[in-house]
Every structure is written in C-alpha cells, then in structure tokens.
Amino acid sequence: MPEPKMDIGFLYFKFYKIRNFMEEHREKNIQKSVNDY
C-alpha cells in the first residue's frame, strides 16, 4: 500500500519545513531583540 506511505512522507516533509521556518523566525527575533539592546 504505497498511498499511506506517501501521505505520511508528505506530512512529515511539510512538518519539517514548517519547523525549520519557525526555528529560523525565532532565531531572527532573538537577534533583533539583542540588536535593540
């Protein structure tokens, strides 16, 4: 059954991209607050 496997892979890929985006955003916010001081 290849369909469930593909769905899980796709969801994992999306989750991974979103997590990377959130981590990048958080790092930028931290740098911004450090630059404000």
Would the pTM of this model clear 0.85, i.e. be above it? no
| C-alpha–C-alpha distance, residues 10 and 14, integer Å | 6
* Average pLDDT along the chain: 81
pLDDT given at position 21? 92
Residue 1's SS3 state is: coil
Burial call 8-31: b when 16+ CB within 10 Å, e when fewer: eeeeeeeeeeeeeeeeeeeeeeee
pLDDT given at position 1? 55
Two tokens, residue 30: 């931290």
Q: Note the pLDDT tens digit of each residue in 1-37.
A: 566 667 888 889 999 999 999 999 888 887 777 776 6
